[in-house]
Structure 1
Amino acid sequence: MTYPAHVRAVLTLGLPLIGGHLAQFLIGLTDTMMLGWYGAEALAALTLAHTAFFTLFLLGTGIAWAVMPMVASYAAQGDQVSIRRATRMGLWLSLIFFALTVLPLWLSEPILLALGQEARVSADAQTYLRVALWGMAPALGVMVLKSYLAGLEHTRIVFWITGLAAVLNAGFNWVLIFGHLGAPELGIRGAAIASVLTHAVSLAGVVLYARAKLPEHDLFARFWKPDWEMFGQVFRLGWPIGLTNLSEVGLFAASAFMMGAIGTVALAAHGIAVQLATAAFMIHMGLSNAATVRAGNAFGRNDAGHLVRGAWAVIAISVAVACVTVAVFVLMPEPLVGAFLDPADPDRAAIVEAGVSLLIVAALFQLVDGAQVIALGLLRGVQDTRVPMVMAAVAYWGLGLPAAWAFGFGLGWGGPGIWLGLVIGLGAAGVFLMWRFWSRAVPQAEARPTLA
């Protein structure tokens, strides 16, 4: 394939995945915006609660990300049985992980207090998490099945199901947070109930599609029966991905706790800026998933040329997206931050001022944030996850986190200083992971014999 053909193929596969990630992001964004209009204190509590929930959730999604390259590789080999086995054991592992998350989410208030968060905000965050934790199981199940479908290049349905879920979540939030249509006004608890309902609807949709359109895989027949060999394979590939996810989200979680130590206004501004930066990141994440699938196909066929040309195509698209994002963040930060807040909120001006400064810093890491997640997608496609895990941990925790603390508190730069630490961590990860792909993964692929 030529480079233009690779670009078209990446976009054909990636655009629905990008749309699906953006729709998934809209679920969290809707919670943030609606509770921002409900009150600054509720927004601060949601920021902590989302941080805690998604720290664990992204650790669990390592299993889902492992299913994607495995399914793509097995599909390239025509191995339908292994596709079913890998997906089923991915679901098993996700259920086990959910069981392990119940206790820390249920007892989140004392953990947050120990981390220096304000008492009222910590209590409200626990109120949210004691409801939202029941959405963890369906959310992880959705991620596994989305990875299964993406590995088979059934990406449009992923977009449509997630888009429908985002619309339903907005409706559930409107009714349950503010008490419309005769429902009680539940505030932050209503947002949690809405999230659980949304994850449940999403799971039902993706299961129905898999059973109707891909009956040959029969994913749920004898679901209770263990398959320890494949269980081990999925776990061995997935746990480094989960820890890599944890390293990155942990960096942002730590930054949220640092912002909470500064105050409620700083934490609310951080929550808004993270939402906006995450919106841009979701585009790169969709491209990364496309890179995983196409690299997985090339890996399954031992086609090094396809791997290299596809990698350059997805990198070029990611760079173009990053340039557009930088321009948006730099040219119009105030309207973006202000959209999250009630005009009558007494803290609005202070939150907007703090959020604008954070968004300008966020513009600095767009290129490197895209580079590191694209490199991770390519490396996962060739089933290289352990060394990238170590590289990511060193970049995020060995460099980014100490820099955030030093700039934010040691030098007294506050919120912008903490975010400069994020720039350093993400930048180092981008350099390390791209080096790993081009210096190790590509030469190893070129040394493998090409399948006829």
Structure 2
Amino acid sequence: MDIAGPVPAQDAAAPASARDEMFALLRLAGPLVAANLLQMSIYASDVIFVARLGTQALAAATLGVYLYSVVMFALQGLVGAAAPVIAAELGRRRHAVREVRRSFRMGMWLAVLASLPFMLALAHGRDILLLIGQDAQAAAAADGFLDILLWAMIPAIMASVLRITIAALGRPGWAIGVAAVALGVNLLGNWLLVFGNWGFPAMGLQGAATASVVTSFAMCAAYAVIALTDRRIRRYRLFGNWWRAEWARLTELVRIGVPIAVTLTFEGGLFSAAAFLVGLIGVTEVAAHAIALQIAAVAFQVPFGIAQAATIRVGMGYGARDSVWIGRAGWVALVIGTGFMVLTALAIWVAPRAFVSAYIDVDAAENARVVTLAVQYLAVAAAFQLFDGAQVVAAGVLRGLQDTRVPMILAALGYWVFGFGSAVLLGFPAGLQGVEVWIGLAVGLLAVSILLVWRWSIRARLGLIPRTA
């Protein structure tokens, strides 16, 4: 039977001041940011190994990973609904042990149930890639890659639920350790299976996919061990009664999570469409676009981690029905997230070539055109850093209020009407050589950031704040 009980005060204590809230937020966000950066290193290591197999293999892996990543990003958003729900239960404190366990259990159920149809779809990856006009040979190679990679989906999404829960329960630091272990497993797996070292079979592209599957299972297992052994976490008995359905709770997670998944798909779709538009100009522009976007993506991991932490902090205030705590947590997160992006924007603006040099030799004559274009794109990226930080943190604080449906609509409007529309309307005849696409991205991010921050600022008038306890 479920054992109910109050959560200890230190698990969900309201901060006494903005300074206290800032430190609470940073303690939670710091490990999440570090884990996000390590996760990016895992993806980068895959590219490094596969690139040595040749252009055809790299193209096939890129196509396969693109399809897989689109699905993964959406599913992580779906189960991400567990964060505000668990945080609210901690904030309420009444029967929090039982309620957290139920939300976690249904989050894990959702990870499995939602993954299955997408795994079936990815099993037909070749047909999907041919349908969108990709090269037949690359699509065939990507199909075999996806047939293996799709088995990483369920453990990866389950690991995401575990990470969310463990962070909300006050142990975000474990995310760094698990991500570091995952990076090591992935590097070793690629080294052994892609090229056949230490007597292992040289599986090539399939070896890289197998390494990713092993890495996902390792991450899930590591988090499970933590949940069972950490003194602070194990009292919640997260795996207790794992077979028992809580349909109302599952429905609540779906209600909150589906708009999050759709919002992330809108955002990811905009950047994918931007790459397609740049591809219509030329290969050199695509290379410059990829470099500039990777630089922006690294900087984005900081406000993204702050947004993840803000969802939990605002969610605790929401569960406690403490409007002061809610407001303080949200505004502190917005100031810190946007403030950091001011620093990255200045750094990119002042020394763009230094950032580009991390990816290619900026002094080589054959790279001159790519470097010139990348620097131009980064000039725009420096501006949209501010908007990117504001929009992701604003989305995070609204999720803490379990407000996801209207932000989804605002994201669709901002990204696709203002953002993509601006990129298309500026038009290629303008002679900006891809810069117009980046201006479109900046306009889209600016629109979404304004809309979401505005909605956050009028949260009380919209009835998003629960009555004060």
Spell out, residue by residue over 1:380-439, the C-alpha distance to the aligned partner (whole angstroms, 9 max, x if none).
Answer: 101111111110111112222233334464646443332222111111111111111111
**Which piece of structure 1 moves more, 321-330 or 429-438?**
321-330
Matched, 1:19 2:34: yes
Q: Distance in 1 between matches of 2:310 and 2:256?
A: 17
Query: Kindly tell me: are residues 241 and 169 of structure 1, through their superposed partners in 2, closer, same or farther at Cα, counting changes over 3 Å?
Result: same
SS in 1 for 2:173: helix
Q: Distance in 1 between matches of 2:157 and 2:67?
A: 15
Instruction: State how 1:342-357 maps to structure 2 within 5 Å.
Output: 351-357=370-376
Q: Distance in 1 between matches of 2:199 and 2:147?
A: 24
Spell out, residue by residue over 1:362-393, the C-alpha distance to the aligned partner (whole angstroms, 9 max, x if none).
Answer: 22211101101100110010111111111011
Alpha-carbon offset, residue 325 of structure 1: 1.7
Query: Kindly tell me: are residues 2 and 445 of structure 1, through their superposed partners in 2, closer, same or farther at Cα, counting changes over 3 Å?
Result: farther
**Which piece of structure 1 moves more, 177-186 or 277-286?**
177-186
**Which piece of structure 1 moves more, 182-191 or 6-15?**
182-191
Q: Distance in 2 between matches of 1:336 and 1:166?
A: 23
Residue equivalent to 1:386: 405
Give the residue type in structure 2 aligned to 1:217: Y
Give the residue type in structure 2 aligned to 1:129: L
Residue equivalent to 1:141: 158
Query: Kindly tell me: are residues 13 and 387 of structure 1, through their superposed partners in 2, closer, same or farther at Cα, counting changes over 3 Å?
Result: same
Residue equivalent to 2:299: 280
Alpha-carbon offset, residue 76 of structure 1: 1.8
Q: Distance in 1 between matches of 2:37 and 2:305?
A: 9
Structure 2 contact 21–328 (Cα < 8 Å) conserved: yes
Larger relative helix fraction: 1
Residue equivalent to 2:77: 62
Matched, 1:450 2:457: no
Residue equivalent to 2:329: 310
**Which piece of structure 1 moves more, 387-396 or 351-360?**
351-360
Residue equivalent to 2:4: none
Alpha-carbon offset, residue 157 of structure 1: 0.9
Give the residue type in structure 2 aligned to 1:314: A
Q: Distance in 1 between matches of 2:136 and 2:296?
A: 28
Matched, 1:298 2:313: no
Residue equivalent to 1:250: 269
Matched, 1:85 2:102: yes
Which structure 2 segments of 5+ residues have no match?
1-15
Q: Distance in 2 between matches of 1:268 and 1:40?
A: 14
Matched, 1:115 2:132: yes
Q: Name which one, 1 or 2, has greater alpha-carbon Rg.
A: 2
Structure 2 contact 341–385 (Cα < 8 Å) conserved: yes
Residue equivalent to 1:53: 68
Alpha-carbon offset, residue 318 of structure 1: 1.3
Alpha-carbon offset, residue 32 of structure 1: 3.2
Q: Distance in 2 between matches of 1:415 and 1:429?
A: 22
Spell out, residue by residue over 1:273-325, the C-alpha distance to the aligned partner (whole angstroms, 9 max, x if none).
Answer: 33322211111111001111110111011111112222222122112221222
Alpha-carbon offset, residue 169 of structure 1: 1.9
Structure 1 contact 265–347 (Cα < 8 Å) conserved: no
Structure 1 contact 115–257 (Cα < 8 Å) conserved: no
Q: Quick one: higher RCO (CA 8 Å, sep 6+), 1 or 2?
A: 1
Query: When the two structures are superposed, what TM-score results if normalisation uses the length of structure 2?
Result: 0.87
Matched, 1:206 2:220: no
Query: When the two structures are superposed, what TM-score results if normalisation uses the length of structure 1?
Result: 0.90
Q: Distance in 1 between matches of 2:34 and 2:172?
A: 10
Residues paired across the two proteins, number: 449
Give the residue type in structure 1 aligned to 2:321: N
SS in 1 for 2:239: coil
Runs of at least 4 residues of structure 1 off by over 6 A?
none
**Which piece of structure 1 moves more, 152-161 or 386-395?**
152-161
- Aligned equivalent of 2:114, options 79, 97, 107: 97
Matched, 1:158 2:175: yes
Query: Kindly tell me: are residues 385 and 155 of structure 1, through their superposed partners in 2, closer, same or farther at Cα, counting changes over 3 Å?
Result: same
Matched, 1:365 2:384: yes
Query: Kindly tell me: are residues 32 and 265 of structure 1, through their superposed partners in 2, closer, same or farther at Cα, counting changes over 3 Å?
Result: farther
Give the residue type in structure 2 aligned to 1:366: Q
Query: Kindly tell me: are residues 176 and 417 of structure 1, through their superposed partners in 2, closer, same or farther at Cα, counting changes over 3 Å?
Result: farther
Alpha carbon RMSD of aligned pairs, Å?
A: 2.8
Structure 2 contact 403–464 (Cα < 8 Å) conserved: no
SS in 2 for 1:218: coil
Alpha-carbon offset, residue 81 of structure 1: 1.3
Spell out, residue by residue over 1:108-163, the C-alpha distance to the aligned partner (whole angstroms, 9 max, x if none).
Answer: 33433433444444444444333222111111111111111122122011221112
Query: Kindly tell me: are residues 275 and 137 of structure 1, through their superposed partners in 2, closer, same or farther at Cα, counting changes over 3 Å?
Result: farther
Matched, 1:197 2:220: no
Q: Distance in 2 between matches of 1:297 and 1:385?
A: 17
- Aligned equivalent of 1:418, options 437, 451, 463: 437
SS in 2 for 1:155: coil
Alpha-carbon offset, residue 64 of structure 1: 2.3
Query: Kindly tell me: are residues 257 and 130 of structure 1, through their superposed partners in 2, closer, same or farther at Cα, counting changes over 3 Å?
Result: farther
Query: Kindly tell me: are residues 358 and 232 of structure 1, through their superposed partners in 2, closer, same or farther at Cα, counting changes over 3 Å?
Result: same
Query: Kindly tell me: are residues 194 and 332 of structure 1, through their superposed partners in 2, closer, same or farther at Cα, counting changes over 3 Å?
Result: farther
